Amino acid sequence: MSMNMYTGFTRLCKGLAVVLVGGHIVVQILPSALSYLALIPAKTDIQGGGGGGSMTVKMGATPVMVATIPFAWNLITAGYTEQTVYGAIISTIGLLFLGKLLEPIWGSREFLKFIFIINFLTSVFVFITAISLYYVTRLEIYLYMPISGFQGVLSGFLVGVKQIMPDQELSILKLKAKWLPSLALLFSIAISFFTADSVSYLPTILFGTYLGWIYLRYWQKKPETKLKGDPSDEFSFSSFFPEFLRPVIDPIATIFERMLCGRRSETSKEERGYTLGGSTLPGSDPIEASRRRERGARALEERLAAELLAAGKKGEESERDVDDNV
């Protein structure tokens, strides 16, 4: 079984893994390429030509450097550019194993769509955060620190695992899968107190987790029901927190939901299929969410059973070979 754990990776995940490894090799061989691939908020293309730069304006009598729009491709390429070998290894392994679990359930097209959207939006919000931190602190490190890595998408993947199989117990960690995103966030925040460059990865992980939840909660389309999102209580924002904190988190989350979603949050029951004209619609989202989690658990069980069967057959063949040799 141990050998079969390292097989069965999807073709799409293998291709993306090549991109991650290739991006890391490029920045190691050509360090100057990092300034064109990573997200550096101060890098701009205000002349519309080839060179990037920054723009200086006067605020009173003091000239102040202002970063406007980064190279457009940075918002996409940054997520696939790992600067360290450790980052490349973790991202590649995480992509292969989490993708092996999620892609068969979501489908290749939806899986790729999730990666693209979460990667792009995470880069946008990280850029805004870096600019905001610069204006607050006036520290130019926030403008010139190269930010890159696949950790935002990996954080979103963990949210996907939480959604499809929340009660699946992980034998290695001895905890349920629903706590994986929260545990990863907690670990990242704890590490940030002991590292000087936490701004290069912590915002990416935070936004990757939150945007992954936003996408799966409100935007992901369900072709079988023609509905969007997962409004189940088990996937609410407060479900990322311990039980005793949820009475405090729920009212705050509701306020932000109404601010961000407007009328959508007020009419969510009708839009998502709870009721229509007083009658329950077939395939309503709470039921669909439950079915999706059941499919996820069943897919995991079938994969484990297949690996066990393959390991058993391999063992039998080895025994036959030994007997034949004897």
Running DSSP on this structure, what letter comes out for residue 3? Answer: T
* Residue 261 tokens, joined: 């979603």
SS3 147: strand
> The pTM is what?
0.74
Whole-number pLDDT of residue 287: 55
State the Cα–Cα distance between residues 199 and 192, nearest whole angstrom.
Answer: 8
Whole-number pLDDT of residue 316: 56
Q: Judge contact between 178 and 167, C-beta under 8 A.
A: yes
**Three-state helix/strand/coil letters over 27-66:** HHHCHHHHHHHCECCCCECCCCCCCCECEEEEECCEEEEE
Whole-number pLDDT of residue 281: 36
Whole-number pLDDT of residue 66: 47
> pLDDT tens digits, the chain, 326 residues: what are they?
445 556 678 899 999 999 999 999 999 999 999 988 999 888 744 334 444 444 444 444 444 444 444 477 888 999 999 999 999 999 999 999 999 999 998 989 999 999 999 999 999 999 999 999 999 988 888 888 899 999 999 999 999 999 988 888 877 777 888 899 999 999 999 998 888 788 888 999 999 999 999 999 888 887 666 778 888 888 888 888 888 888 888 888 888 777 656 545 444 444 444 433 333 333 445 555 555 556 555 555 555 555 555 555 555 555 555 455 55
* Residue 184 tokens, joined: 């990863």
State the Cα–Cα distance between residues 42 and 130, nearest whole angstrom.
Answer: 10
- Look-up of token digits 């389309």: 221
Whole-number pLDDT of residue 81: 92
Whole-number pLDDT of residue 218: 87
Whole-number pLDDT of residue 286: 53
Cα radius of gyration (the chain): 23
Strand 169-170, strand 62-66: pairing:
unpaired
